[in-house]
Chains A and B, each alone.
Chain A
Amino acid sequence: MKIKRYGVAAFALAAAGALVLTGCTTGGAEPTAPAGDPEAIITTNGSEPQNPLIPTNTTETGGGKIVTSLFAGLVSYDAEGAIEFDVAESIESEDSQHWTVTLKEGQTFTDGTPVTADSFVDAWNYGALYSNAQSASYFFDNIEGFSYTEDSELTGLNVVDERTFTVDLVAPEADWPLRLGYTAYFPLPEVAFEDIEAFGQNPVGNGPYMFAAEDAWTHEEKIDLVKNPDYDGVRTPVNGGLTIVFYTSQDTAYADLQAGNLDVLDAVPDSALATFEEEFGDRAVNQPAAIFQGFNMPFYLEHWGDDEEGDLRRAALSMAINRDEITDVIFQGTRQPASDYTSPVIAGWTDSLEGAEVLEYNPEEAQAKWAEAEAIAPYGDTVLDIAYNADGGHQAWVDAVANSIANTLGIEAVGKPYPTFAASLDDRENEKLTGGVRAGWQGDYPSMYNFLAPLYRTGAGSNYEGYSSEEFEKLLDDGAQASSVEDATALWQQAQEVLLTDLPTIPLWYSNVTGASADTVDNVVFGWDSVPLYTEITKG
């Protein structure tokens, strides 16, 4: 019996290939800068975590970067989003459905207890249990025994011995190991389950960093982490620790960077987008991130149904938008026009999908398609609006997109502001939109599947505008069950070609991560998830 091994190599190769194609340049694992002071503390910006620091309840970025520093999962991601084994020694499967995970020997939590198979199985069970109401619970829904409506044990998880456990998925999933560097899959020590709330205030992890002291988390101010001397994995820090200062405004964080109070900034405020590259020179970072932006025309609206008229109109809208000009003028080149439904940092990204010409600015073709749709049913003088939440800085580009549509198609198009994200979400969930709506997605883990399934599968969590396509879902499932990552990628690219004809979301662009670092630090490399690889930063 031959066991196929889905290991690091395949993913790394695929990722590297994609990056060569896109001309993306990020440094390799070899540090090029001087070694630096191994005791130096790096300061960086962050935001107050929304919840206690429990991995399965941390799905937002503020808590995410802290939890990822405190814990080590089975795998972790390098700068290109390829996985490297962290706690795991091997992750193997014959059929992509039944997996066997073996852990490295001698791994411990910072309280001295060993990291065992139970540490993972218990943590995952805790995260998945209905009544624990963990925000990342849905990440376990592909493991046998998961339930969305009642408490049930993950029967698909079985401990073989101290260092080995098996995972039975409900369906084959070729790139399942790609998920495992995400926060939801981190292990927990036994002490966590005694009082999980208290644990969340003073977590005990197994990652590259640990709390500098009891209560190192000063709420709304900062969190102090120091190097964990017992961590022995791919992310061993070359610095002495990490202080994450919480800011409520990016402008303030930027001011601190300019004044030399901050070493690394991972989000440049809009007000500085035009100037930060000049000011920081080669210390500025402006590279693609795993963020996809577009807008949806709901299928329940008249003229926008899932039929020939709707398809024509969506294509006409898409071709009426001058993405190049908007990304240049409004975003100062910090966005890249979209050519598919994923992101350039994801292995499998491509700019050569069949039907991708619908994403190019083509006024004549747009007008022709619109006229064709008019022949089916006249649109009348309805104003086309595009909804956005006014608290997120979207107004400029929504207005520009609306103008581009109005000028090309000769219809009236406007942006429709909602005061808050909550208000816009209400109308989306209750299908009360009167026009288009902004739709964005940031990848949880570096996989094409994560950009497709949660958004376009029938009834999926973020599929608000009611898209449903059997053809798309078949390709999606076939890809998940494919025996190799290459096959999966090919099938998922075909699935996106279906999306390009139906246009449930009209793709606009990928966001870049913009950041900068002070001259006190070196070797600042941003990961696939727009978070700097803190452990590799040298200072002094």
Chain B
Amino acid sequence: MLWYTGKRLLQVIPVLLGATFLIYFMVFAMPGDPIAALYGDRPPAPGVIEQIREQYHLNDPFIVQYFYYLAGIFQGDFGVTYSGQSVNDVLARTFPVTIRLALLAIFFEMVAGIFVGLVSGLRKGGIFDATGLGVSLVLISLPIFVIGFVAQYFLGIQLGWFSPTVGAGAPLEDLILPALVLASISFAQIVRLTRSSVIETSGLDFVRTAYSKGLTRRRIVPVHILRNSLIPVVTYLGTDFGTLLVGATVTEGIFNVPGVGRTLYQAILRGEGPTVVSFVTIMVLLYLVVNLLVDLLYAVLDPRIRYA
């Protein structure tokens, strides 16, 4: 187990190097001079732009810029944004907010998704099942920004149940509505996955054996059916983490959450190489770690799986 984990962690290094290189190259290849664009229709003196370009090494060839950046990373310095803030500070400020949002969303989608999926699967063809499938179909087909704006307008502004935007410091109660929106799409997927998995497991021999042994339904459903049905759902949650981070870009924009997605979006628009690459690198890192955790979770859910 330890050996397996160590091996997986070592694999992270080449993936990260490759990812930073590719992303840096893509940002570099974006058309236009990002510094000139900062000033819009009102350019400063040419000498000013030239000096700022010099400061960010923007006049050097791509590979030199990339090595400046890498050298910084190895010293724990992710560079400076065009507005003069240290990217480290920006990362430290925004990541906790987005992680909180993502965890809240995962919590909502897991609790609601697995519950609805389980009940639907156990009562296949019933009214609850039909409703659940219908609702999840609607949620899957709606783009997240539509759900976001609709929820903001009706739940936030019209009914006033939630704050329509997230206030300073991103307190947990303000994050509930964006987290629900963020969870909505994956919720639908989880309902469907759990449902089909439960239906499949319910028909398996060991479940029949359990019933014939005289075990109560109360015990069979959580221990025998649910636990064995969860493996595909847990796999899904791992890959879903990436979807959540992407979804956060849209959701954070709508609800004004001072998190990673909003900052990243702004940085892409401004062509801020160091910021974009640092953010995406950390996202990649998180994604790898979460997937490692998911792989390790399999062993907990299914004792037949062993890592050596």
**Interface, chain A (partner B; CB < 8 A):** 48-52, 59-60, 130-131, 133-138, 141, 148-149, 197, 200, 218-222, 245, 247-249, 251-253, 255-256, 258-259, 261, 391, 418-426, 429, 439-442, 444, 454, 461-462
Contacts and interface: CB of A to CB of B under 8 A. Distances in A.
B51 interface: yes
Given A197-B84, A248-B253, A426-B31, A259 B156 contact: yes
Interface in B30-85: 30-34, 36-48, 51-52, 55, 82-85
Contacts of A423: 30-32
Contacts of B44: 59, 134-138, 461
B138 interface: no
A249 B254 contact: yes
Nearest to B255: A252
Contacts of B192: none
Contact of A462 (B42, B90, B253): B42
Nearest to A220: B258
Contacts of A131: 51
B117 interface: no
A441 B41 contact: yes
Closest 9 CB pairs of A and B: A422-B32, A422-B37, A423-B31, A423-B32, A133-B51, A135-B44, A252-B256, A255-B164, A259-B164
A221 B94 CA distance: 11
A49 B85 CA distance: 11
A490 B40 CA distance: 31
Contacts of B39: 59-60, 135
Interface hub of B34, B37, B89, B94 (most chain A Cβ within 10 A): B37
Nearest to B252: A248
Nearest to A252: B256
Given A133-B52, A261-B167, 9 more contacts: A49-B83, A52-B84, A133-B47, A418-B31, A425-B36, A425-B37, A426-B32, A442-B42, A461-B46
B41 A60 contact: no
A259 B154 CA distance: 11
B107 interface: no
B265 interface: yes
B262 interface: yes
B121 to A, nearest CB: 38
Nearest to A197: B84
Nearest to B46: A148
A218 B253 contact: no
A425 B169 contact: no
B247 interface: no
Interface in B269-308: 269, 271
A453 to B, nearest CB: 13
Contacts of A256: 164-165, 256
Interface hub of B32, B94, B271 (most chain A Cβ within 10 A): B32
B222 interface: no
B219 interface: no
Contact of B266 (A200, A248, A251): A248
A245 B170 CA distance: 13
A248 B251 CA distance: 12
22 contacts: A50-B38, A51-B83, A60-B39, A135-B44, A220-B94, A220-B263, A245-B168, A249-B253, A251-B254, A255-B157, A256-B164, A258-B164, A259-B163, A391-B269, A419-B31, A421-B37, A422-B30, A422-B37, A454-B42, A461-B43, A461-B46, A462-B43
A199 to B, nearest CB: 12
Contacts of B153: 255
B227 interface: no
B164 A149 contact: no
B63 to A, nearest CB: 22
A295 to B, nearest CB: 13
Interface string B200-213: 00000000000000
A252 B94 contact: no
A137 B33 contact: no
Contacts of A219: 85, 89-90, 93
Contacts of A135: 39, 44, 48
A80 B157 CA distance: 35
A429 to B, nearest CB: 8
B152 interface: yes
Nearest to A222: B168
A92 B89 CA distance: 48
Interface string B157-188: 10010011101110000000000000000000
Given A220-B93, A220-B263, A259-B157, A50 B82 contact: yes
A193 B43 CA distance: 25
A402 B263 CA distance: 35
A421 B163 CA distance: 34
A439 B43 CA distance: 13
A422 B271 contact: yes
Interface hub of A51, A248, A251, A442 (most chain B Cβ within 10 A): A248
A187 to B, nearest CB: 21
Contacts of B266: 248
Interface in B1-48: 30-34, 36-48
A261 B157 CA distance: 10
A252 B41 contact: no
Given A51-B83, A197-B84, A422 B164 contact: no
A218 B32 contact: no
A87 to B, nearest CB: 25
B41 A442 contact: yes
Contacts of B36: 422, 425, 429
Contacts of A454: 42
B145 to A, nearest CB: 10
Interface hub of A220, A391, A426 (most chain B Cβ within 10 A): A220
Contacts of A418: 31
Nearest to A391: B269
A60 B89 CA distance: 23
Contact of A258 (B40, B157, B169): B157
Nearest to A422: B32
A360 B38 CA distance: 35
A52 B39 CA distance: 15
Contact of B48 (A137, A251, A441): A137
Contacts of A51: 83-84
A442 to B, nearest CB: 7
Given A148-B46, A220-B263, A221-B258, A255 B33 contact: no
B115 to A, nearest CB: 31
Contacts of A248: 253, 256, 262, 265-266
Interface hub of A130, A221, A418 (most chain B Cβ within 10 A): A221
Contacts of B82: 50
Given A135-B39, A420-B37, A425-B37, A255 B165 contact: yes
A253 B262 CA distance: 15
